């Protein structure tokens, strides 16, 4: 009988134990959920050169940026592969590779190239040979410096990221394996060479996998970036402790956290210049005119030619003082000379008062664009002379755009009361009797961007005539005009014959701006009042401003109406702009493309990198870059050109071939596949495009007969063709050999396609 | 102590206790027992599914759904009904044989807020790992994947980069090979689209 009872107990246990065990599972899920619901605050800075990385024991130099853009591009690449922020990776490198002899922060591009080209043996490191092999290279220095070619610790940790190879204390084969798996080829802890450990790029990429392994994961969760405890945990697991230094002890975790914070998106750090700062502004005295002739190419003044409002006459004095105040307040935020900003106001607007100027007449609510060929383009200036298109946000520069301007100047973009107050002030100051709606600036921008609501556009344009907002936006648009390549004079001459022919007159204007600047009080902080000279309280219709679209198939009305009366400078993303790629080394141009556009291009010659930079710059103001950011393009033979993946690895294989126009067309076509295949369907209007293809056919032969040409499907190819032709209008080329060159007029003949492209990418 | 109780207790009571314990254990077993694998297709996955494979009658299709097109598949001899879908290029499809629905294909919406939108990861939570995954779709493109769960009578085609499901197919459970032969006409494995530009 006792056997019977024992049997019963045994059977009972067998049935019940699994249930008890299963009942525990939700506890695990709960813990996981808790971990992944932390707040995510912002992303990292687009411009990684602004990040400063901390090592606290370097007194006086605790926080330093990396001098090498090449090195930054490797951190960025590792970040793309794993999701680990550059702040974490760079922060670890800064601590790990700083000694009393050198700091990784001070390595230049040339230093990094020297390391990469050095003869570090490609010997596989094993537990048996590691010590002897490392001894061969541990004292190598970059010529004329104390910088190590391959940083080696007393414990034989190797490379910038100080990874322990086999045979050294602390070697973690599993973590090294995970890091090695991110490298090209079948790399693992048993076949990594000395060179792999010492090469900056492979060291950084390996460390990313190493970090993830230590956290028991394969992908970084964004919320961790904002969690100091977690960052400290990363520090502890990487270093094996938290305290470094000798008698003076420093916290690895605190240093790493500071680096992460430094690399955080600056949109959270923008703060208005204080009154105190303004009153002691170094901009209260203008430089000598001779500096402007040298820097921007202004002619010497002849004192005769003049066709602009003269800032030295009493009539414009108050306008000048107001514009000066706003320029001193906002232009330095974008590295722009305030004097140049005020010169622009007088040169461009014909009425140097922000409240009441628009070159699209303001007669009927919601109908401001009746004489503007395109409302959301470079053809509409207002306020102090910025283009309406400056309202756009820029994913690469969070300081740009109307929302950033409002946030910087007036605070919360969702504040309806403040928005109305600012807008109503503009209307009142311009002598208009309308009532500004009870909407926040955020709502208005959403209504225009998402629903093309012309009323919202009009109220946005009103807000953009607020002097502070207007000067902020104008300054953002003038950023980079101090470039010497080309200088402003040559740049302006390229805009149109008007700018060329008026250069003497505008040089005289600049001279007078400087005279007025130094003879008026520097009253930064004084509230701006509407000028008493506002004659009839209406919006001036100033000289007509035109932009040639650079495409003979789509003549702009401006081209025939007043062809020489003036063009504003083309900004990036404006058709007709002819950017010139920076004249830098091939490797540096590759890094610039990574840093500025977030696209990695491997194996391309300088010519193709130059074309790529120019095209990406040309379309920078569209949302294209946002949709393909993180893509990797690898050079291949022309016949092997294709899209092979999305972000993080190789996205596109692209040949180096042919003429510039064809290559740019194919470049955008292939990235057009990335747009379609690597973004959510509703974001890229997949179904809408299928409707357009059904109703209009493909925009090119390739989109109609893809199967017969490359074996592809019409939906894929027509989408890529739509993107390519939208961003290369009038490009009479063909993407593939199967069909002759074509130049579809999308706007006219394929309006559904055109509208989809415009909706997805924004105006071009 | 226990032995003493057992020895002293009347035999009938012991039998009764034993029976009660066995009944109790049987109840526990039934309560926690996993349901047996179904041989019919698993229950409806997506709310947009119109029919129930193996149950909906062919005669009901025309009445209920007004198909835009109807024809007989040349290879299998199945009756094919094409229905309007959210995609103008990819109609939904129902196939019937011997009076019953044996296959249904639906295109899912692209907007996450729309009913029926679904993701690959959520599908895997419900159905587990696919029995076979094949990269390459004739209609959607070479980078997209077909995830086959043929023993459960369900296949999805989706975008592994965005996690979105493009379409769901339901059918009578079968082998992978049979699924590919009968319904896998969209599968195009290993195709690369080389876009040779003009030299």
What does the alpha-carbon distance between residue A438 and residue A662 come to, in Å, rounded to a whole number?
50
Residues 152-181 of B with CB under 8 A from A: 159, 161-162, 164
Average confidence (pLDDT) over A583-608: 83
Q: Which segment, A40-49, A523-532, A582-591, B140-149, is predicted with the most confidence on average?
A: B140-149
Given a contact cutoff of 8 angstroms between Cβ atoms, the answer to whether B149 and B155 are in contact is yes
Lowest mean pLDDT among A459-468, A552-561, A659-668: A552-561
Lowest mean pLDDT among A520-524, A646-650, A694-698, B131-135: A520-524
Of A17, A711, A714, A742, which to mutate for an interface test with B (greatest number of B Cβ within 10 Å)?
A711
Q: Does pLDDT of A558 surpass 50?
A: no
Residue B144 at interface with chain A, using a CB cutoff of 8 Å: yes
Residue A686 at interface with chain B, using a CB cutoff of 8 Å: yes
Residue A602 carries which DSSP code? E
**Residue bearing the bigger pLDDT, B30 or A548:** B30
According to the model, what pLDDT value does residue A277 have? 34
User: From the list A647, A662, A679, which residue is nearest B198 (CB)?
Assistant: A662
Q: Does pLDDT of A582 surpass 90?
A: no
Residue A16 at interface with chain B, using a CB cutoff of 8 Å: yes
C-alpha distances out from residue A119 to A116, A149, A409, A622, B178, Å: 8, 10, 55, 44, 57
Count of C-beta atoms within a 10 Å radius of residue A618: 22
What does the alpha-carbon distance between residue A432 and residue A628 come to, in Å, rounded to a whole number?
44
| C-beta atoms of B197 and A655 within 8 A | yes
Residue A198 carries which DSSP code? H
What does the alpha-carbon distance between residue A470 and residue B95 come to, in Å, rounded to a whole number?
63
Lowest mean pLDDT among A356-365, B66-75, B182-191: A356-365
Q: Does pLDDT of A253 surpass 60?
A: yes
Q: Does pLDDT of A29 surpass 80?
A: no
Q: Which residues of A touch B193 (CB under 8 A)?
A: 642-643, 710-712, 716
Residue A671 at interface with chain B, using a CB cutoff of 8 Å: no
Q: Which residues of A touch B191 (CB under 8 A)?
A: 711
Q: Which residues of A touch B111 (CB under 8 A)?
A: 681-682
Q: If pLDDT is split at 50, 70 and 90, which confidence band does A271 have?
A: very low
Q: Which residues of A touch B199 (CB under 8 A)?
A: 638, 657-658, 737
Strands A652-655 and A642-643: antiparallel
Residue B110 at interface with chain A, using a CB cutoff of 8 Å: yes
According to the model, what pLDDT value does residue A241 have? 79
Residue B89 at interface with chain A, using a CB cutoff of 8 Å: yes
What does the alpha-carbon distance between residue A93 and residue A53 come to, in Å, rounded to a whole number?
9
Question: What are the DSSP calls for chain B, one per residue?
Answer: -HHHHHHHS-HHHHHHHHHHHHHHHHHHHHHHPPPPPPSSPPSP-STT----TTTSBHHHHHHHH--SEEEE-TTT--EEEEE--S-SSS-EEEEEETTEEEEEEEEPPSSTTSTT--BHHHHHHHH-S-SEEEEEETTTEEEEEEEEEGGGTEEEEEETTTTEEEEEEEE----HHHHHHHHGGGB-TT---------
**Which residue in B has a C-alpha nearest to residue A15's C-alpha?**
B29
Closest Cα in chain A, distance from residue B116 (Å): 14
What are the backbone dihedrals phi and psi of residue B188, each rounded to the nearest 5 degrees, phi first?
A: -140, 85
Strands A243-244 and B92-97: unpaired
Residues 128-187 of A with CB under 8 A from B: none
∠ CA(A205), CA(A209), CA(A211), 5° rounding? 110
According to the model, what pLDDT value does residue A3 have? 53
Residue A682 at interface with chain B, using a CB cutoff of 8 Å: yes
**Residue bearing the bigger pLDDT, A453 or A438:** A438
According to the model, what pLDDT value does residue A214 have? 83
In this prediction, the answer to ipTM > 0.85 reads no
Q: Which residues of B touch A724 (CB under 8 A)?
A: none
- From the list A708, A715, A698, the residue with the least C-alpha distance to A737 is A708
- From the list A226, A246, A254, A228, the residue with the least C-alpha distance to A56 is A254
What does the alpha-carbon distance between residue A356 and residue B85 come to, in Å, rounded to a whole number?
52
Q: Which residues of B touch A658 (CB under 8 A)?
A: 197-199
| C-beta atoms of A713 and B161 within 8 A | no
Q: Which residues of A touch B21 (CB under 8 A)?
A: 8
What does the alpha-carbon distance between residue A341 and residue A126 come to, in Å, rounded to a whole number?
63
User: From the list B25, B89, B162, which residue is nearest A715 (CB)?
Assistant: B89
Q: Which residues contact A184 (CB under 8 A, 6 or more apart)?
A: none
What does the alpha-carbon distance between residue A239 and residue A153 come to, in Å, rounded to a whole number?
12
Given a contact cutoff of 8 angstroms between Cβ atoms, the answer to whether A590 and A609 are in contact is yes
Helix residue ranges per DSSP H, A46-182 = 69-82, 86-96, 109-117, 130-137, 173-180
Which of A742-763 are b and which e, b meaning 16 or more Cβ less than 10 Å from the residue's Cβ?
A: bbbebbeebebbbbbbbebbbb
Q: Does pLDDT of B90 surpass 90?
A: yes
Residue A669 at interface with chain B, using a CB cutoff of 8 Å: yes
pTM higher than 0.90: no
Closest Cα in chain B, distance from residue A637 (Å): 9
**Which residue in A has a C-alpha nearest to residue B158's C-alpha?**
A677
Residue A287 carries which DSSP code? P
Closest Cα in chain B, distance from residue A403 (Å): 27
Q: Does pLDDT of A536 surpass 50?
A: no
Q: Which residues of B touch A733 (CB under 8 A)?
A: 198
What does the alpha-carbon distance between residue A285 and residue B22 come to, in Å, rounded to a whole number?
99
| C-beta atoms of B193 and A711 within 8 A | yes
Q: Does pLDDT of A621 surpass 90?
A: no
Given a contact cutoff of 8 angstroms between Cβ atoms, the answer to whether A372 and A550 are in contact is no
Whether the bond between A486 and the residue before it is cis, its omega within 30 degrees of 0, is: yes
Q: Does pLDDT of A30 surpass 60?
A: no
Residue A20 at interface with chain B, using a CB cutoff of 8 Å: no
Closest Cα in chain A, distance from residue B73 (Å): 23
Average confidence (pLDDT) over A450-478: 87
User: From the list B3, B159, B191, which residue is nearest A711 (CB)?
Assistant: B191
Closest Cα in chain B, distance from residue A741 (Å): 9
pLDDT in tens, A91-146: 999 999 998 889 999 998 889 988 988 889 999 999 999 999 999 999 999 988 99
Residue B6: is it exposed, middle or buried by C-beta count within 10 angstroms (0-12/13-18/19+)? middle
Q: Which residues of A touch B110 (CB under 8 A)?
A: 680-682, 686-687
Provide the number of CB pairs (under 8 Å) joining chain A to chain B: 125
According to the model, what pLDDT value does residue A578 have? 55
Average confidence (pLDDT) over A266-291: 53
- From the list A42, A109, A123, the residue with the least C-alpha distance to A74 is A109
User: From the list A1, A669, A680, which residue is nearest B164 (CB)?
Assistant: A680
Residue A18 at interface with chain B, using a CB cutoff of 8 Å: yes
Could you tell me which residues are beta bridge partners of residue B119?
Answer: B164
What does the alpha-carbon distance between residue B119 and residue B112 come to, in Å, rounded to a whole number?
9
Q: If pLDDT is split at 50, 70 and 90, which confidence band does B32 have?
A: low
**Which residue in B has a C-alpha nearest to residue A702's C-alpha?**
B195
What percentage of chain A reaches a pLDDT higher than 70? 79
| C-beta atoms of B195 and A691 within 8 A | no
According to the model, what pLDDT value does residue B198 have? 52
What are the backbone dihedrals phi and psi of residue A502, each rounded to the nearest 5 degrees, phi first?
A: -95, 10
Of B89, B159, B195, which to mutate for an interface test with A (greatest number of A Cβ within 10 Å)?
B195
| C-beta atoms of A639 and B164 within 8 A | no
What are the backbone dihedrals phi and psi of residue B163, each rounded to the nearest 5 degrees, phi first?
A: 75, 5
What does the alpha-carbon distance between residue A351 and residue A167 come to, in Å, rounded to a whole number?
76
Q: Hey, CA dihedral for A458, A463, A464, A467, is it positive or negative?
A: positive
Could you tell me which residues are beta bridge partners of residue A54?
Answer: A63
According to the model, what pLDDT value does residue A348 have? 81
Helix residue ranges per DSSP H, A271-415 = 275-279, 289-296, 317-330, 338-349, 402-410
**Which residue in A has a C-alpha nearest to residue B24's C-alpha?**
A12
According to the model, what pLDDT value does residue A263 have? 85
According to the model, what pLDDT value does residue A97 have? 92
Q: Does pLDDT of A734 surpass 60?
A: yes
Q: Does pLDDT of A764 surpass 60?
A: yes
∠ CA(A591), CA(A143), CA(A88), 5° rounding? 40
- From the list A349, A562, A376, A638, the residue with the least C-alpha distance to A465 is A349
∠ CA(A476), CA(A482), CA(A484), 5° rounding? 140
Q: If pLDDT is split at 50, 70 and 90, which confidence band does A27 have?
A: very low
Residue A658 at interface with chain B, using a CB cutoff of 8 Å: yes
Q: Which residues of B touch A736 (CB under 8 A)?
A: 195-198
Residues 700-729 of A with CB under 8 A from B: 710-713, 715-716
Lowest mean pLDDT among A39-53, A105-119, A361-375: A361-375
Question: What are the DSSP calls for A428-497, one per residue?
Answer: HHTT------S--HHHHHHHHHHH--HHHHHHHHHHTTSHHHHHHHHHHHHTTTT-STT-HHHHHHHH-H
Q: Which residues of A touch B18 (CB under 8 A)?
A: 4, 8
């Amino acid at each position: 009988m006792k056997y019977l009872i024992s049997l019963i107990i045994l059977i009972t246990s067998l049935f019940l134990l699994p249930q008890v065990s299963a009942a525990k599972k939700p506890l695990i899920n709960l813990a996981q959920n808790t971990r992944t619901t932390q707040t995510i605050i912002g992303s990292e800075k687009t411009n990684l050169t602004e990040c400063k990385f901390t090592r606290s024991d370097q007194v006086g130099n605790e926080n330093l940026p990396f001098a090498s853009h090449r090195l930054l591009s490797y951190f960025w690449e590792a970040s793309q592969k794993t999701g680990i922020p550059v702040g974490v990776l760079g922060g670890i490198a800064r601590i790990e590779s700083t000694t009393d002899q050198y700091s990784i922060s001070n390595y230049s591009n040339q230093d990094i190239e020297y390391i990469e080209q050095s003869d570090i043996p490609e010997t596989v490191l094993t537990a048996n040979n590691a010590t002897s092999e490392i001894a061969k290279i541990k004292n190598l220095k970059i010529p004329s410096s104390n910088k190590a070619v391959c940083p080696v610790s007393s414990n034989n940790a190797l490379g910038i990221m100080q990874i322990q190879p086999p045979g050294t204390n602390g070697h973690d084969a599993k973590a090294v394996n995970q890091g090695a798996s991110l490298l090209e080829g079948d790399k693992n802890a048993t076949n990594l060479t000395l060179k792999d450990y010492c090469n900056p790029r492979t060291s950084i990429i390996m460390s990313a996998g190493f970090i993830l392994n230590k956290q028991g994961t394969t992908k970084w969760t964004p919320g961790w970036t904002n969690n100091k405890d977690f960052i400290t945990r990363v520090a502890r697991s990487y270093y094996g402790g938290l305290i470094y230094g000798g008698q003076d002890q420093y916290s690895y975790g605190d240093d790493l956290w500071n680096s992460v914070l430094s690399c955080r998106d600056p949109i959270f750090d923008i703060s208005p210049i204080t009154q105190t700062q303004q009153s002691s502004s170094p901009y209260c005295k203008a430089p000598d005119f001779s500096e402007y002739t040298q820097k921007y190419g202004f002619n010497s003044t002849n004192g005769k030619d003049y066709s602009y409002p003269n800032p030295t006459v009493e009539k414009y004095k108050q306008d000048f003082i107001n514009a000066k105040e706003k320029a001193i307040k906002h232009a330095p935020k974008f590295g722009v000379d305030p004097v140049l900003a005020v010169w622009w106001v007088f040169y461009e607007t014909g009425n140097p008062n922000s409240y009441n100027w628009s070159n699209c007449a303001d007669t009927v609510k919601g109908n401001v664009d009746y004489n503007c060929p395109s409302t959301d383009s470079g053809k509409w200036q207002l306020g102090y002379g910025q283009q309406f298109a400056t309202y756009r946000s820029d994913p690469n520069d969070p300081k740009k755009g109307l929302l950033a301007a409002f946030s910087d100047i007036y605070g919360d973009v969702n504040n309806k009361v403040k928005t109305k107050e600012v807008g109503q002030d503009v209307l009142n100051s311009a002598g208009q009797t309308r009532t500004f709606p009870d909407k926040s600036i955020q709502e208005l921008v959403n209504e225009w961007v998402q629903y093309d609501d012309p009323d919202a556009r009009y109220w946005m344009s009103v807000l953009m005539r607020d002097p502070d907002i207007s000067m902020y936006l104008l300054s953002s648009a003038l950023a980079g005009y101090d470039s010497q390549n080309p200088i402003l004079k040559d740049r302006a001459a390229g805009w149109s014959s008007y700018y060329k022919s008026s250069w003497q007159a505008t040089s005289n204007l600049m001279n007078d701006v400087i005279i007025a600047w130094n003879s008026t009080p520097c009253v930064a902080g004084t509230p701006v009042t509407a000028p008493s000279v506002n004659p009839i309280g209406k919006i001036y219709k100033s000289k007509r401003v035109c932009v040639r679209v650079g495409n003979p198939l789509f003549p702009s009305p401006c081209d025939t109406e007043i062809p020489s009366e003036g063009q504003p400078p083309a900004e990036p993303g404006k058709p007709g702009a002819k950017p010139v790629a920076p004249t830098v080394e091939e490797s540096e141009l590759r890094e610039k493309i990574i840093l500025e556009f977030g696209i990695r291009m491997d194996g391309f010659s300088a010519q193709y990198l130059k074309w790529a930079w120019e095209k990406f710059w040309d379309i920078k103001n569209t949302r294209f870059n946002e949709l393909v950011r993180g893509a990797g393009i690898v050079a291949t033979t022309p016949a092997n050109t294709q899209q092979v993946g999305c972000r993080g690895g190789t996205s596109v294989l692209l040949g180096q071939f042919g003429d510039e126009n064809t290559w740019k067309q194919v470049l955008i076509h292939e990235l057009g596949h990335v747009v379609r295949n690597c973004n959510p369907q509703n974001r890229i209007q997949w179904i809408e495009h299928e409707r357009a293809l059904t109703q209009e056919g493909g925009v090119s032969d390739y989109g109609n007969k893809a199967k017969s040409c490359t074996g592809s499907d019409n939906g894929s190819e027509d989408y890529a063709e739509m993107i390519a032709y939208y961003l290369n209008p009038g490009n009479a080329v063909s993407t593939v050999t199967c069909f002759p060159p074509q130049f579809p007029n999308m706007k006219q003949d394929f309006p559904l396609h055109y509208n989809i492209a415009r909706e997805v990418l924004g105006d071009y | 102590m226990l032995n003493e109780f057992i020895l002293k207790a009347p035999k009938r009571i012991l039998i009764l206790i034993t029976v009660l314990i066995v009944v109790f254990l049987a109840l526990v077993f039934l309560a926690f027992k996993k349901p047996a694998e179904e041989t019919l297709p698993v229950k409806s996955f997506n709310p947009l599914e119109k029919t129930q494979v193996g149950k909906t009658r062919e005669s009901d299709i025309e009445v209920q759904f007004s198909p835009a097109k109807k024809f007989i598949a040349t290879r299998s001899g199945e009756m094919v009904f094409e229905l309007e879908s959210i995609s103008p290029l990819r109609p939904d499809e129902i196939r019937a044989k011997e009076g019953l629905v044996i296959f249904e294909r639906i295109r899912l919406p692209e907007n996450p807020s729309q009913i029926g939108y679904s993701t690959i990861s959520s599908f895997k939570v419900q159905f587990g790992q696919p029995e076979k995954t094949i990269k390459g779709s004739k209609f959607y493109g070479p980078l997209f994947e077909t995830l086959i769960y043929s023993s459960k009578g369900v296949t999805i085609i989706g975008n592994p980069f965005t996690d979105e499901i493009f379409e769901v197919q339901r059918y009578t459970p079968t082998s992978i090979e049979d699924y590919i032969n009968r319904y896998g006409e969209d599968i195009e494995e290993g195709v690369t689209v080389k876009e040779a530009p003009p030299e």
